[in-house]
Amino acid sequence: MTATETHQAIDAVWHIESAKVIGGLTRIVRDLGLAEDLAQDALVAALEQWPREGIPRNPGAWLMATAKHRAIDRLRRTARLARKHKELTYELERERDDSTANLDRAMDDEVEDDLLRLIFTACHPVLPAEARVALTLRVLGGLSTQEIARAFLVAEPTMAQRLVRAKRVLAKAKVPFEIPVGEERTARLESVLEVIYLIFNEGYMATAGDDLMRPALCEEALRVGRILAGLTPDEPEVHGLVALMEIQASRTRARTGRGGEPIVLLEQNRGLWNHLLIRRGLSALERAEKLTARRGPYVLQAAIAACHARARTADTTDWARIATLYRELATVAPSPVVELNRAMAVAMAEGPRAGLALVDALTAEPALATYAMLPAARGHLLVELGRLSEARPEFEKAAALTGNARERALLLDRAAQCVQ
């Protein structure tokens, strides 16, 4: 294997194993920042040794064992945590001469619990939303600071500071590395799902920049969501979120034209949809609905996405059912955005006049004052009603509100088409 191939293999191993290693180390040292530093030390050691000695049979176990060695060295240098020093020294001495089989077992010990603890720690509500997103991508997605900064269009030093602050906040708040139970777990799970969906949405419809989508972020959100679903098999909302992301991700190839221009849902070539992802999404939705009689927000959104996925053509979409599902969603998770989406579903089911009445009722909503989709929706319905002179300024307003260059171009094109 060439040096280049070895480094590519190391990158792949790190992407797969880093979360497990960081999770295992955090359980031991009880400090997420220190655990990440130790894991990075192990990665550096791999980059130095594997090109010379070859990739070990169980690279994940090698990384974990190496990181544990680094933990002992660091604790010995610092004279802190005397009790933990003693415990880790004993563990290290016991494992130092272990066979590869024992390293395999060491890597497998409590891996699932460690990953679940890591997810709940990275997404702790004590952190602001942007810090939770960044930290989740870092410790669970295995993305570098540079990659995260590029994904969210901020400078790398800014993102580095954000990550450092997040770990300091967790340390200062003494957030326990544990799986919460009862009501606390329910509350924390909401934060976890929110973070995963924020990551996915930023990939699915970028808030700024020149590209409509950032597929890598969608892939990372899906990967973390699938991990969480495997770790919490009895949580319907987790399966609901995975179902929603699978179905939405299935449309990726159809959402843009050859020049990168956006193609709206009703105009997409459904032959380009990824039917494997659709089947996975529908399966996850079925599992979620079997687990609960009272559907939560992610299960309901997945059910709405499933209506589109099941329609072979745009004309056969069951808009009446979608409007009903949005009405149910509005009772479970009320928000002006949900009401706007319901209004558009009503417009498709009952006609643009009925939809416009609902949209007009939202124009004074403060939460939608800078939301580009409100004037865009109003412009669309005005076009349907033949009121082109009124539609044009709505599209222009929407274009001014969006930060995404591709979306802005589409809206300005719609405005230009509004001629009597």
Domain boundaries defined on the chain: 3-109, 111-214, 233-309
- Residue 74 confidence (pLDDT) above 80: no
Distances (CA, A) of 12 to 16, 17, 108: 6, 9, 19
Cα 314 off chain centre by: 28
Give the HSE-up count for residue 302: Cα atoms under 13 Å, Cβ half-sphere: 30
Number of H helices, E strands in the chain: 20, 2
Give the per-residue pLDDT at 146. 85
Q: For residues 248 and 358, give the distance between their C-alpha atoms in angstroms, rounded to a whole number.
A: 26
Give the per-residue pLDDT at 82. 55
Q: For residues 355 and 146, give the distance between their C-alpha atoms in angstroms, rounded to a whole number.
A: 44
Asked whether 334 and 356 are in contact (CB, 8 A), the reply is: no
Q: pLDDT of 264-285, one tens digit each?
A: 999 999 999 999 999 999 999 9
- Residue 90 confidence (pLDDT) above 60: no
Query: Dihedrals φ, ψ of 209, to 5°?
Result: 100, -175
- Weakest mean pLDDT among 41-55, 109-123, 230-244, 325-339: 109-123
Reduced to 3 states, what is the DSSP secondary structure of residue 55? coil
Query: Dihedrals φ, ψ of 51, to 5°?
Result: -60, -30
- Residue 260 confidence (pLDDT) above 90: no
**Which of 295, 315, 296, 318 is CA-nearest to residue 307?**
318
- Weakest mean pLDDT among 34-38, 173-177, 212-216, 250-254: 212-216
Give the per-residue pLDDT at 186. 80
How far apart, in Å, do the first and last CA atoms of the chain sit? 67
Q: 94 or 128: which carries more pLDDT confidence?
A: 128
Q: For residues 238 and 228, give the distance between their C-alpha atoms in angstroms, rounded to a whole number.
A: 7
- Weakest mean pLDDT among 45-59, 63-77, 242-256, 293-307: 63-77
Q: Cβ neighbours of residue 387 under 8 Å, at least 6 residues apart?
A: none
| Residue keyed to tokens 């149910």 | 328
C-alpha gyration radius of the chain: 24
Q: Cβ neighbours of residue 293 under 8 Å, at least 6 residues apart?
A: none
- Residue 401 confidence (pLDDT) above 90: yes
Asked whether 347 and 335 are in contact (CB, 8 A), the reply is: no
Q: For residues 120 and 191, give the distance between their C-alpha atoms in angstroms, rounded to a whole number.
A: 8
Give the per-residue pLDDT at 111. 59
- pLDDT band per the 50, 70, 90 thresholds, residue 209: low
Q: For residues 116 and 122, give the distance between their C-alpha atoms in angstroms, rounded to a whole number.
A: 10
Computed over every residue of the chain, the mean pLDDT equals 87
Q: Cβ neighbours of residue 109 under 8 Å, at least 6 residues apart?
A: 24
- pLDDT band per the 50, 70, 90 thresholds, residue 212: low
Give the per-residue pLDDT at 177. 86
